[in-house]
Structure 1
Amino acid sequence: MKENQKIRLGISIGDINGIGCEVALKTFEDARMLDFCTPVLFASNKIVSQQIKDFGLDIKFNGVRDAEQALEGKVNIVNVGKDAPNVEYGQATKEAGEFAIRSLRFAVNALKENKIDVLVTAPINKNNIQSEDFKFPGHTDFLAQELKGESLMFMVTDELRVGLLTDHIAVKDVAKAITPKLIRNKVATMEESLKMDFGIRKPKIALLGINPHSGDNGTIGEEDDKILKPTIQELFNKGTLVYGPYSADSFFGSDNHKNFDAILAAYHDQGLIPFKTLSFGKGVNYTAGLDKVRTSPDHGTAYEIAGKGKADESSFKEAVFTAIQVFKNRTEYLKLTENPLKKQKIRRGG
């Protein structure tokens, strides 16, 4: 990003038969949003025009061939192919899945080439995106392959942050997947993200137990005693403020989560059910640990209301603001932590 240039925010359009395009366009119908960033939608003029008309939105967009050509103060559209599928609201079609992945690939390539600064992904359908060329259960796993770093699925609001030890895997496989190495990696990623992306100098992290009541001293499974507890103690002894394991059933209801900067849940629903219950509509899915910033809203395609103009853009708007703030925090953090001697060597070396 050039000095004095607004953050260039890329948007992969997601499933065009869901609510993704609708909430993205509703977000930027508010012209004040253009004061914060320059949006670049990876979609098609045809699809965007249709959805603007269908939802009676007051938006004029600027078609560009490349994200680098995006104009500030405009909603910019990069066409991701000549043939755009027909929109069939509420339907899970193969064509919509293929277009969602085409949009995602274009957006990620632009992110890797620094043509956009951050990426916000609209919701996809995890079934109709599958193909010989795309065998990922969702955005996070694909981004982990394409971008550098150790990825962490991190659900965030101003008051609550919940990360996952394991994300899109079957419940029957959870206990086997959780190892001391995985715990160390995820805790390290979470701690670094809290410092770099959220400005928390010495974060406190809570781990939730794998089994009910964290195993009840081995009565309901031994994983908590044999894997979680010793690893947590090891990390704490090395200076990381990590605590637990806590029994997941009472942790949020007792407001214990308010004592920590972030919570690391053992598996998907253990973390996302309380998060979405407490924060639905305000939550953001952030992929922490990568060398680029990516966020998304905390909801899915919502086929049941697609095309009806009822979709609430609040979570998408929060995803935009979070991406912008994380990018700014990270940029400032990296400036402050740069090694002055290293910079001096670079200058001397020409």
Structure 2
Amino acid sequence: MSPKNHKVRVGISIGDFNGIGPEIIMKSLADKTITDFFTPVIFGSGKLFTYQKNIFKLNLNFNYINEASQAQAGKLNMVNLVKENSVVELGTPTEESTKMAIDSLEAATEALLKGEIDVLVTAPINKDEMVKMGFKHAGHTGYFEEKFNKKGLMFLVTEELKVAVLTHHIPIAQVAENISKEKIKKQIRVLNQTLIEDFNISKPKIAVLGLNPHAGDGGVIGKEEIEIIAPAIKELSDNGILTFGPFPADSFFQPEKYKNFDAVLAMYHDQGLAPFKTLAYEEGVNYTAGLPFIRTSPDHGTAYDIAGKNIADERSFTEAIFAAIKIFRNRSEYNDLMSNRLQPRKMVVDNGIDEDLPDESEA
């Protein structure tokens, strides 16, 4: 079946159920025609979702299954991980909600590795509470890097703005020591290939931000731009990757500037995510680029302050679902194209005769 005709199986982990995870999941799936576009597979609890759908007055019916391989097209499939009632305390993380967030994520990831789902969309988690429960990673990215045995790239995307970050969830005091020329080159190569494979941009233009105010101001406010960032940009440019900068971060995110590029590499988390979340409010998607599997999520957190009030906006989660589907199809088509490329005909070098042509003496 061609990528265009394949109905993508979208796995969904529920995050912390005392946050807005179940609400935005169900609101995203509430349209009766949604299963015409993809096959949802939620890793959660039937009783939990029934309880919460009644709170939000949503009319959904789930197809309860024991494992993702049993999912049926045309239905809202629920892998029923917990059959008992859950104690819901909306707005407050609990040991039970944290455990289910971990169990949901692990079950969904296992299904992804088995090929039972095609992509994974993750609802927001509480990182601190999960670490207290023995989860070893300060977020989804590190978890997937370990599971897939490959380094990922945090990549925030909309149609018009795409921002990657060089360093992920580390203290600001450790950012400078975690920046190197080789790391920049490696991450930009990943970003460049992602833009080609996953976003159908044949010759991406990538902007790189400086680390220091005013991009170091010629070395007056820091040497990283001169000694690390600019040399990395030059080496990449010399090797055919269209890389530009380093640009001062404080003035870069103006429409007439960032729209000249296909993607931006920020040096650290808040340098890239603060402007992204301001410009792409409720439309942004967090995509873990560079991995062999596709994982997206909304660009917001658990939002405990509005949990249960029926005011959570599901648009970012909906965008995350359709971004995952689009990336899956783009990547499938790219891989098909690469595998079906015409191979050059073998030539006999010593006499210049094309082996595919008959010898005149045999004609």
* TM-score after normalising by structure 1: 0.94
Q: Deviations over 1:164-208 (max 9, x none)?
A: 001111110000001112101110110010000000000000000
**Structure 1 counterpart of 2:52:** 51
Q: 1:209 to 1:128 in 2, by over 3 A?
A: same
Q: 1:84 to 1:169 in 2, by over 3 A?
A: farther
* CA root-mean-square deviation: 1.6
User: What letter is aligned with 1:233?
Assistant: K
User: What letter is aligned with 1:95?
Assistant: E
User: What letter is aligned with 1:306?
Assistant: A
- Structure 2: unaligned runs, 5 residues or longer: 344-363
Answer yes or no: is the 8 Å Cα contact 2:44–2:81 preserved in 1. Answer: yes
Matches within 5 A, 1:200-349: 200-253=201-254, 255-338=256-339
**Structure 1 counterpart of 2:75:** 74
**Structure 2 counterpart of 1:8:** 9
User: What letter is aligned with 2:241?
Assistant: T
For 2:175, what is the secondary structure of its paired residue? Answer: helix
Q: Deviations over 1:5-40 (max 9, x none)?
A: 411000000000000110000111112221110000
User: What letter is aligned with 1:68?
Assistant: S
**Structure 2 counterpart of 1:64:** 65
The 2-side partners of 1:83 and 1:170 are apart by 40
The 1-side partners of 2:21 and 2:208 are apart by 33
In the TM superposition, residue 84 of structure 1 has moved relative to its aligned partner by 5.7
In the TM superposition, residue 213 of structure 1 has moved relative to its aligned partner by 0.6
User: What letter is aligned with 2:262?
Assistant: D
- Structure 1: unaligned runs, 5 residues or longer: 343-350
Q: 1:91 to 1:103 in 2, by over 3 A?
A: same
Answer yes or no: is the 8 Å Cα contact 2:30–2:59 preserved in 1. Answer: yes
In the TM superposition, residue 133 of structure 1 has moved relative to its aligned partner by 3.8
In the TM superposition, residue 94 of structure 1 has moved relative to its aligned partner by 2.1
Q: 1:84 to 1:236 in 2, by over 3 A?
A: farther
The 1-side partners of 2:60 and 2:2 are apart by 27
Answer yes or no: is the 8 Å Cα contact 2:206–2:262 preserved in 1. Answer: yes
**Structure 2 counterpart of 1:42:** 43
Answer yes or no: is the 8 Å Cα contact 1:281–1:315 preserved in 2. Answer: yes
For 2:164, what is the secondary structure of its paired residue? Answer: strand
In the TM superposition, residue 218 of structure 1 has moved relative to its aligned partner by 1.1
Q: 1:264 to 1:26 in 2, by over 3 A?
A: same
The 1-side partners of 2:341 and 2:247 are apart by 42
Matches within 5 A, 1:53-202: 53-83=54-84, 85-131=86-132, 133-202=134-203
- Identity, in percent, stands at 51
For 1:153, what is the secondary structure of its paired residue? Answer: strand
The 2-side partners of 1:100 and 1:31 are apart by 27
In the TM superposition, residue 295 of structure 1 has moved relative to its aligned partner by 0.4
Answer yes or no: is the 8 Å Cα contact 1:179–1:227 preserved in 2. Answer: yes
For 2:199, what is the secondary structure of its paired residue? Answer: coil
After TM superposition, the structure 1 stretch with the greater mean CA deviation from structure 2, 262-271 or 128-137, is 128-137
The 2-side partners of 1:218 and 1:83 are apart by 62
Answer yes or no: is the 8 Å Cα contact 1:163–1:262 preserved in 2. Answer: yes
Q: 1:43 to 1:18 in 2, by over 3 A?
A: same
The 1-side partners of 2:236 and 2:22 are apart by 43
Answer yes or no: is the 8 Å Cα contact 1:85–1:99 preserved in 2. Answer: no
The 2-side partners of 1:70 and 1:85 are apart by 24
User: What letter is aligned with 1:42?
Assistant: F
In the TM superposition, residue 83 of structure 1 has moved relative to its aligned partner by 4.9
For 1:294, what is the secondary structure of its paired residue? Answer: strand
Answer yes or no: is the 8 Å Cα contact 1:150–1:185 preserved in 2. Answer: no
In the TM superposition, residue 57 of structure 1 has moved relative to its aligned partner by 0.2
In the TM superposition, residue 221 of structure 1 has moved relative to its aligned partner by 1.1
Q: 1:285 to 1:207 in 2, by over 3 A?
A: same
Answer yes or no: is the 8 Å Cα contact 1:150–1:189 preserved in 2. Answer: no
The 1-side partners of 2:188 and 2:333 are apart by 23
Answer yes or no: is the 8 Å Cα contact 2:46–2:83 preserved in 1. Answer: no
The 1-side partners of 2:149 and 2:286 are apart by 18
Instruction: Please say which structure displays the higher CA radius of gyration.
Output: 2
The 2-side partners of 1:72 and 1:148 are apart by 31
In the TM superposition, residue 149 of structure 1 has moved relative to its aligned partner by 3.4
**Structure 2 counterpart of 1:345:** none
* TM-score after normalising by structure 2: 0.91
User: What letter is aligned with 1:213?
Assistant: H
Q: Deviations over 1:215-237 (max 9, x none)?
A: 11111111111000111101111
User: What letter is aligned with 1:322?
Assistant: A
The 2-side partners of 1:84 and 1:8 are apart by 27
The 1-side partners of 2:2 and 2:67 are apart by 17
